[in-house]
Amino acid sequence: MSHFHILAITDIAGGHLPHFMLGGYMLLLVWLCYLGYRKGKATEEDYYLAGRGQGAIVTSLTIMATFFSSAALLGIPGVVYRDGVSFFLFALNLPVAGAAVYLLGDRIRKLGKARGYVTPADLVGDYYGGTEVRLLAAATSALYVLPYVIMQIKAGGYLAQRLFPETPPLEFFGSSCTMYETGVWALSFLTMVYVLVGGMRSVAWTDVIQGILLIFGMLVAGLATIAYFGGLGGYFEAVSALPAKALSAPGYSDKWNAGMLFTICAFASLGSIIQPGQWMRFYAAKDSNTLRKSALVFSVVLPVCFIFGIMLVALGGQVLFPPEITAEGIIPHPSVGTKSSEVDQIVIVMIQRVVPEMLGITFGAVVVTMILIAVLAASMSTADSNLHALSAVLTRDVYDRFIRPQADERERTWVGRIVIVLATMAAVALVEWSQKAGAFNPLELISQLMLLAIAFSSQLLPIAIDVLFLNKGTRQGAIAGLTAGIGLVLLLTIKPEWSFGITKIVHVSAIGIAANAIVFGLVSRVTKKVPQKRIDEFRRIIKAKG
Amino acid sequence: MLETRLSKILASIFLFALIMGPGPGLYLVNPSTDNPSSTTFLGMPVLFAWASFWFFVQAGVVLVAYGRLWTNGNDLDE
């Protein structure tokens, strides 16, 4: 059976429903991009931070949409489908990240506004002084961003392949493009254009639409699943009959023990919320109240979407499409996929089963298409934010500091745009190359890169806490701590066996943060303090109201 | 940071929820694979009920902090 059976049998729009709805979505993004361009000013601050004037609704939704990646509707439900209910506890990382939106974000915003920062490295580099901390922070940011862009672009190809499974390869200038390649190019090109043209304002406005689509998709899919089983009673009766392994920790893959879940919730969550794209959103917020409201919305709405939405869909998937446990691992039901990595298709398969039951074929097809577009939106909203952040990091922290310090604001903004084009091209080329290289498994490599990216981003946490709260660290301590944290994360990613099994019970980001913090603290005790005048200035800015 | 009684109480509850929910506390309720009757609570999978409960605790802390502490741009200082 085609995964898109419902879309194939509906007669709406002559069988071209997905084409029309996808086209409408893309036109809407182009329109928002145009509006962002019309409203923008030709300044660096406006291009990267929308003039530091974003209100609560835009800030809430752009922070949420950036946090959601293709993992929200594909990867995370895939893990619930594979491992069972133990992975629901993963959602408890969201209130932690949400609280940090205010507790860390508002201090970052105040310092950014008072001292004209644009990137994370601007703040930590200015506080500790010298170029090394700035370069290490910039490297941390860049290492986080690129794998994330690649991941999202891949998801675009993956989705196009499944939205239009019967469509033959398209011919462009004499060369043939599969639907996968068409999806990769379409997502990359459209995202690149609206980031290029409208900067942060367009990115944030498109994130609003994408954020709304995501919330809609996750909640409607959850409601439809419960309705399919005849209400909450029927749903829980069905899932309670699953094998005990699916209803207990550490799940089928034996991965989700308390140590792993706790360290993800406590540390990786904070690493994700201080990634460069989010950090710049804190700078862009209008005032404290904006981040206060955003923190509340993030802490409450996002976990509801996961725990009472998309995760219920995936657990229901275990009932309707039970996976098979084999010696090779957990293989999804044949209707879901044939390889263990295809467990992430569970939502796509489930919505086509359950949504028409609740809404009928015609309206069901419209809603199914909207949920599929929400998957695309998840990818685009993360890709755009990360492309935009990478542009700022390479322009402000590298080009402006080390290549052409005399460059004016206009030149820097144009260099930023060139960076976006080059980064997009590089990401597409890597995705295309990996797809064609037979023995090379791009999905596994990118997944490893994604985990590595979060672990990298987390390494900014100890120095961020020091700058924002403690003011005890030194420049040498920050350099040593960052180097130790990044180095250990790299080492344990390449050679996990050198952790003596610790990486099986503690997330690697927490190990990196622990090493980073210990080295940072020890070196800071014996090296020269940050000038008291600078500490006082930072404290004064942070204590100020508004 | 954490200068008032309320801020200390809220931070403690939030940390406790983190330890009890996804942390070691989950082994208090984690069903045994040998005893299928322990997998449900009020008809729901027990770990689902556990995750939902600790989410409501975390969300409650954030709500109180939003209303009582984060009121003039100074996080937990007031």
Q: Is the pLDDT of residue A59 over 90?
A: yes
Single-letter amino acid code for the residue at A448: Q
Rounded to whole angstroms, what are the CA distances from A525 to A127, A129, A460, A520? 17, 17, 19, 9
Paired residues of A170 in beta bridges: A177
**Percent with pLDDT over 70 in chain A:** 94
pLDDT of residue B14: 97
Q: Is the pLDDT of residue A108 over 60?
A: yes
What is the tens place of the pLDDT at every residue in A214-240?
899 999 999 999 999 999 999 999 999
Contact A82, A233 (CB under 8 A): no
Rounded to whole angstroms, what are the CA distances from A159 to A6, A154, A196, A228, B56? 16, 9, 24, 25, 34
φ/ψ (deg, to 5) at A359: -115, -5
Alpha carbon A14 to its chain centroid, in Å, reads 36
Give the residue among A538, A516, A511, A459 at the shortest CA–CA distance from A129: A538
C-alpha–C-alpha distance, residues B56 and B61, integer Å: 9
Greatest mean pLDDT range, A317-321, A455-459, B32-36: A317-321
> B49: which chain A residues are within 8 Å (Cβ-Cβ)?
none
Rounded to whole angstroms, what are the CA distances from B9 to A262, B5, B15, B64? 21, 6, 10, 11
- The rounded mean pLDDT for chain A is 87
Q: Is the pLDDT of residue A441 over 90?
A: no
Using CA coordinates, name the residue in chain B closest to A244. Answer: B33
Using CA coordinates, name the residue in chain A closest to B26. Answer: A258
Q: Does A106 touch chain B (CB under 8 A)?
A: yes
**Mind giving me the DSSP string for A449-479?**
HHHHHHHHHHTTHHHHHIIIII---BHHHHH
C-alpha–C-alpha distance, residues A390 and A148, integer Å: 11
CB contact set of B19 (below 8 Å; sequence gap of 6+): A262, B25
pLDDT of residue A69: 78
Single-letter amino acid code for the residue at A248: S
Residue numbers of A between 246 and 275 with CB closer than 8 Å to B: 247-249, 258, 261-262, 264-266
What is the tens place of the pLDDT at every residue in A489-534?
889 888 888 888 898 899 989 999 999 999 999 999 999 999 999 9
> A99: which chain B residues are within 8 Å (Cβ-Cβ)?
14, 62, 65
pLDDT of residue A152: 82
Our CA-based measurement puts residue B62 at a distance from the nearest CA of chain A, in whole angstroms, of 7
| Complex-level ipTM | 0.92
C-alpha–C-alpha distance, residues A244 and A543, integer Å: 52
What is the tens place of the pLDDT at every residue in A319-354?
999 999 887 778 999 988 888 877 888 998 899 889
Give the residue with greater pLDDT, A454 vs B46. B46
Q: Does A236 touch chain B (CB under 8 A)?
A: yes
C-alpha–C-alpha distance, residues A535 and A530, integer Å: 7
Lowest pLDDT segment from A42-51, A302-311, A446-455, B60-69? A446-455
pLDDT of residue B72: 60
- The strand pair at B40-41 and A324-326 is best described as unpaired
**Percent with pLDDT over 90 in chain A:** 47
Single-letter amino acid code for the residue at A407: A
C-alpha–C-alpha distance, residues A505 and A147, integer Å: 25
Contact A265, A342 (CB under 8 A): no
CB contact set of A256 (below 8 Å; sequence gap of 6+): A83, A86, A87, A89, A90, A249, A250
Q: Considering only CA atoms, give the Rg of chain B.
A: 16
Exposure string (b/e) for A323-349, b if CB count within 10 Å is 16 or more?
A: beeeeeebbbbebbbeebebbbbbbbb
Paired residues of A398 in beta bridges: none
What is the tens place of the pLDDT at every residue in A362-408?
888 888 888 888 888 888 888 888 889 999 999 989 999 889 999 88
Helix A288-305 with B46-64: angle, nearest 10 deg: 170
Q: Is the pLDDT of residue A299 over 90?
A: yes
Sign of CA dihedral A407, A409, A411, A417: positive
Q: Is the pLDDT of residue B13 over 50?
A: yes
Q: What is the pTM of this model?
A: 0.91
